[in-house]
Structure 1
Amino acid sequence: MHDVVLRARRKAGRLLREWIPQNLHYRPVGVHPSSRELAARPGGGVAYFGVVPAYTSQLHVPDDFYDKASVYEGLHDKPHRQEKVPAAFVVELIDGRVYADNFNSVAVIAADNRLVGDVSFQYDGARWDLTPPESNNIFRQRYFVAPRELPGTVCNLLSGGGAASGNYYHWLIDSLPRLHLVREAGLLDAVDYFLVYDKSKRFVQGTMAALGIGPERLVDVTENPHVRARCLLATPGVRGNLTHTPVWACDFLRSILLPPPAVNRTFSPYIYISRRDAPGRHILNEDALEAMLREYGFETHTLTPYSQDEKTALFAQAKVIVSSVGAGLANIVVSPRGAQLIELFPSSFVVADYLEFTSRLGMDHQYLVCETPNPSQTRTGAQRDHLIVDLEALRPLVETALQRQPEPASV
């Protein structure tokens, strides 16, 4: 019910901000394209802290996977085998503002009322792609609420897109690792508040608690869409402008989540992750699949009722993981080096997120593209398509995975 109310509120907000004028003086008057150049201006109240230099990222994508990867109406690229990753940094803005009243944009605004382009975010849902800072929808906005004034130092963890909609994968990959940049810049201990999308989410509270950050220090953007901080810390996107997950982000997540916490249960090292509680990508012959996997010692787990500690403990000891593609697989970030992932895809939704992720984690990745009744032609529809697993095609993948032994889990 909470998510339904939130979506209704945001839909009403879209109508307000584009049609009804209020507080137009809060609308930015231009763009600072570079935080580094902005900080170099004397007397601007801006400081720049470089953390990770720019580099070129490589990813091995097997030809067979590349050929099967989904493309929707020409809008979704094939997996990127190479990406230019911009520098990662922290920018400190005295009297900086954040405006984020929708899923698809985050506006970070300097004290001179200009958008800071390389730490802001704008997503074009129609093209499934990022857009230039000057296209940020805040420049079309007419309705503005007055900012909540926050004393002290505020760290912005807003990432837009999937992170804004409450997706666990995007929180882990696109939001939480920003704290690594802040910590490496020597600024984490100075932070008084952290700006997040929904502090009521158990995974938000659980992962922040791993850093000793309690819920009283989380400021919820759903209740505070416009914030002005005496000192605002902001970073660029964790994955730059594209898709490759940096190794430093994986290392940071492992450093805060491992060693696994003690929980009052034990798990098989062979796990099947069911999506029966999710809105899409159900396995229609799941009973038969589970029966086959039990022959090899697999346990079935549905992750929704699990605490963060239980999810971490489950995946930290896993040697072989079988699942249809989904956000819960982000938990492989704590799995042992050399663990095996077998990923099951609807024929309409073959994406490289976890092929890419496993390569950064030192895990093996196998996959099976499955029969999909009435496959969708759009990405939005394909995300909900169900699948039927060919058990005889899956069996040799499972047997291959069981023959390989991962190294013990380590930080």
Structure 2
Amino acid sequence: MSKLPARLQPLWPLAKRVHRALSLVLGVLGRRLAPLLGERGLPRSGSTTSAATAAAEPDAVTLHGPAPSPPVERAVPPGMPPRHWAFTTTTRPDVPPVQTLDVRDGTVVGDFAAVITPGRVLDFETSDYWGIAGWQEHPLFLRPRLPAVEHVSGTVAVLATRGGNASYYHYLLDVLPRLEVLRRTVPDVAVDHYYLERSTRYHREILALAGLDGLPRLDVGRERAVRADRLLVPSIPNVGEHTPPWIVDHVRSLLPPADTADKPTRLYVTRGDRRHTRRMESEAELWPLLEARGFARVDPGSMSVRDQVDTFAAAEVVVGVHGAALTNLLFCRPGVRVLHLMAPTYVKHCFYAILDAIPDARYRYVLGEGRTPPPGTELTGVQDDIDLAPEKVLAELDVLLEQ
């Protein structure tokens, strides 16, 4: 996920490398100065796992659970080119255990919800961030000190996490499932406040539809730090975007369709026509051909969450450009068929992982033209547009429908 403006998206790989290097360098300085800044000082160290965090501070930190998650094994999906390494390397993903970190006098910081113990340790497992090699590169260390720390009495549960403030995908698949992790691991706990993002229309609509809009909430902000008497931090169950099947089942149960009557059964999910936004470059030529085959063009970002759920629940066939709008595949009926369009510089398994949990769903991917990174390299074309000939899309669609 990139926060750069569209015109600057080609600079993202360089910006990410600079971001990581600055975090490393500034973090060394910040940790040395931390003792001089009191409670606003940065964490003095970090731990890779929550188990290590709890073991290091047994008087202040407890780990509830952990309950091992059932293993996940997936076949390599069909697509062109076949057996792309982004799929062959994710057939047996590591699935994190379901557990909750319980921290006395714990602190949560920012919209990425970094978790700090009273011993000034950053728990990296619950403070996960994209594309970094370890806790030393966490963006928390880009700042010279913490925001002013606000003390909140009672028990605070952290549901916010990286990406949840700005991504429909991460809100549905990272934020919401943390509440279920909390319920499974600390079932009888009384929570006074939830550290939970609710700033956008879709945040509020999702919570209302799921019956969660009445949760007592603390606002999330980039410049906010909250220290609680007791901080409960559920594990992030969708690390690596591998989406264990229980998450799909859980979100589907929270957001069932209401009215699928008169909804189209064939969808083309557009990304619009702005450059460097993963747009389909040939959409002007492709769309009339799809329309002739009975497709309706939809832009889920312009729809209410209720309408998105119902529209995708009615779909029998979906052709979609890679993007957060395809998160709505969560709500598709059993047997749905999906053609996933991607650039070769940004091939992602996340939507296949969702469909793998829906009975009898059929998935196929097709990649555009252009530079093909070698196996195992970082795929950094986050917002690269997709160069695909319309006839190739139609040919792959025919193959999908014949599966």
Matched residue of 1:209: which SS?
helix
Q: Indicate how the Cα distance of structure 1 residues 213 and 277 shifts in structure 2: closer, same or farther if over 3 A, else same.
A: farther
Structure 1 position 82, deviation (Å): 2.1
Q: Which residue of 2 aligns with 1:114?
A: 121
Sort the Cα spacing of 1:63 and 1:392 in 2 relative to 1 into closer, same or farther, 3 A.
Answer: closer
Contact 1:154 1:195 survives alignment (8 Å) = yes
Pick closer, same or farther for the CA change 1:329–1:79 going to 2, 3 Å: farther
Aligned length: 376
1:85 aligns with 2:81: no
**1:407 is matched with which residue?**
none
Taking a change above 3 Å as real, the CA distance of residues 234 and 113 of structure 1, as seen in their structure-2 partners, is: same
- Give the deviation of 1:179 after TM superposition: 1.3
Q: Which residue of the partner structure matches residue 242 of structure 2?
A: 244
Give the aligned partner of residue 44 of structure 1.
Answer: 59
1:147-186 per-position Cα deviation (integer Å, ceiling 9, x unaligned):
12223322212322x445x122122222221111012234
Find the aligned partners of 1:277 and 1:229 in 2 and give their Cα distance: 46
2:154 alignment counterpart: 152
Asked whether 1:28 is paired with 2:18, we answer no
Shift of 1:397: 3.7
Partner of 2:333, secondary structure, is coil
User: What is the TM-score with the length of structure 2 in the denominator?
Assistant: 0.78
Q: CA deviation at 1:37?
A: 6.2
Q: Which residue of 1 aligns with 2:14?
A: none
1:34 Cα deviation (Å)?
A: 4.8
- 8 Å CA contact 1:154–1:193 kept in 2: the answer is yes
Q: 2:342 aligned with 1:345, yes or no?
A: yes
- Using the TM superposition, give the Cα deviation of residue 307 of structure 1 relative to its aligned residue in structure 2, in angstroms: 0.8
**Which string of whole-angstrom CA distances, capped at 9 and with x for unpartnered residues, describes residues 96-125 of structure 1?**
111236x6xx431223333334322244xx
Cα distance change of structure 1 residues 66 and 236 upon mapping to structure 2, 3 Å threshold: farther
Query: 1:66–1:79: 8 Å Cα contact kept in structure 2?
Result: no
User: Does the Cα contact within 8 Å between 2:344 and 2:373 map onto a contact in 1?
Assistant: no
* C-alpha separation in 1, matches of 2:57 and 2:175: 31
Contact 2:147 2:223 in 1 (8 A): no
The answer to whether 1:354 aligns with 2:351 is yes
8 Å Cα contact 1:59-1:359 kept in structure 2: yes
Cα drift, residue 312 of structure 1: 0.7
* Matched ranges for 1:257-406 at <5 A: 257-258=255-256, 260-262=257-259, 266-276=262-272, 280-362=277-359, 363-371=361-369, 382-402=381-401
Instruction: Tell me how far 1:399 sits from its aligned partner.
Output: 3.9
3-state SS in 1 of match to 2:154: strand
* Distance across 2 between alignment mates of 1:202 and 1:356: 27
Q: 1:99 aligns with which of 109, 112, 129?
A: 109
Distance 1:211 1:51, change over 3 A: farther
**CA offsets 1:240-264 (integer angstroms, 9 cap, x no match):** 4x34211111111111011x1348x
Give the conservation status (yes or no) of the 8 Å contact 2:106–2:116.
yes
Amino acid at match of 1:53: P
> Residue type matched to 2:99 in 1?
F
Q: Contact (CA 8 Å) 2:98, 2:235: kept in 1 or not?
A: yes
For the 8 Å contact 1:61–1:79, the answer to whether it is kept is no
| AA in 2 matched with 1:169 | Y
Instruction: Measure the CA separation in 2 of the matches of 1:85 and 1:369.
Output: 27
Give me the whole-angstrom Cα distance separating, in 2, the residues matched to 1:400 and 1:273.
19
Read off the aligned partner of 2:97 and give its amino acid letter.
A
CA change 1:176–1:153 in 2 (3 A) is same
| Deviation (angstroms), 1:195 | 2.0
After superposition, residues 117-196 of structure 1 pair within 5 angstroms as 117-123=124-130, 128=131, 130-133=132-135, 135-136=137-138, 138=140, 142-160=144-162, 162-164=163-165, 166-187=166-187, 190-196=190-196
State the one-letter code of the partner of 1:335. C
CA distance in 2, matches of 1:89, 1:50: 5
Alignment RMSD? 3.8
Report the 3-state secondary structure (helix = DSSP H, G, I; strand = E; otherwise coil) of the residue aligned with 2:301: coil
Q: Distance in 2 between matches of 1:33 and 1:381?
A: 25
Output the TM-score relative to the length of structure 1.
0.77
1:253 match: secondary structure: helix
Instruction: Compare 39-48 and 273-282 and name the one that shifted more.
Output: 39-48
> Identity, % of aligned pairs?
24
Q: What is the alpha-carbon distance in structure 1 between the residues aligned to residue 100 and residue 271 of structure 2?
A: 37
How far 1:24 sits from its partner (Å)? 4.6
CA contact (8 A) 1:70 1:351 kept: no
Q: How far did 1:57 drift? A: 2.9
Structure 2 distance, partners of 1:178, 1:257, is 16
Report the 3-state secondary structure (helix = DSSP H, G, I; strand = E; otherwise coil) of the residue aligned with 1:121. coil
Change (3 A) 1:51 1:331: farther
Matched, 1:210 2:209: yes
Amino acid at match of 2:64: F
Q: Give, as a single letter, the amino acid of the residue that structure 2 aligns with 1:81.
A: T
Taking the aligned partners of 1:227 and 1:326, their CA distance within structure 2 comes to: 32
1:284–1:187 Cα change, 3 Å? same
